[in-house]
Amino acid sequence: MAVNLTEGAALGTVFDRLFQAVLDGNQQLTTFTSTLNSLKSTLALIKPILDDLEKLNKALDRPEQETEMFVGRLIEGENLVRKCSKIKSWDLYNKHSYSKKIKKLEDSITRFFQLDVQAQMVRNTKRILIEVKDTNQKLDKVLSILKDTA
């Protein structure tokens, strides 16, 4: 039986764990400083947006499925950053390999916000337009009934 690691995982909590792993790694892992600094700045930029996204999703009762894949990627990222602390300073191959993996993680986080969140915004905007249109139609009916009775 496969276990879904992302099930029930709050986006903000998982994000905070990754951010803390990056901060810890940045202090301990001098060989990954530039890579982790880049990831840290990306995470710092999206933190307020993620906080708002999580609050809005809760307020609007949005399904967690919309962010499940991203949460999974954040969990993988935390594990990746923590694995970096186990790489020996003389292990050039693994240093290079893990630096590339961290860069790929940063790229996937950026991609999520550039594509996935944008697509969600377009979909949500269309839903809002439909709701506004339905509300306008209902108001028109009410107004016509009021005019007919007056």
Tell me if 14 sits within 8 A of 75, measured CB to CB: yes
Going by pLDDT thresholds of 50, 70 and 90, the confidence category of residue 141 is very high
Lowest mean pLDDT, pick from 29-33, 34-38, 126-130, 145-149: 29-33
Q: Output Rg (C-alpha) for the chain, integer angstroms.
A: 22
Tell me if 12 sits within 8 A of 51, measured CB to CB: yes
List the domain boundaries for the chain. Answer: 11-117
Which string of DSSP letters, residue by residue, matches 62-127?
Answer: --THHHHHHHHHHHHHHHHHHHHTTS-TT-HHHHHHHHHHHHHHHHHHHHIIIIIHHHHHHHHHHH
Tell me if 85 sits within 8 A of 28, measured CB to CB: yes
Tell me if 83 sits within 8 A of 98, measured CB to CB: yes
- Within 10 angstroms of residue 39's Cβ, the number of other Cβ atoms is 25
Give the per-residue pLDDT at 65. 74
Does the model's pTM come out above 0.75? no
50-105 pLDDT, tens digit each: 888 888 888 888 777 777 888 888 899 999 988 888 888 788 888 889 889 999 99
| 86 vs 135, higher pLDDT | 135
How far apart are the C-alpha atoms of 16 and 36, rounded to whole Å?
Answer: 15
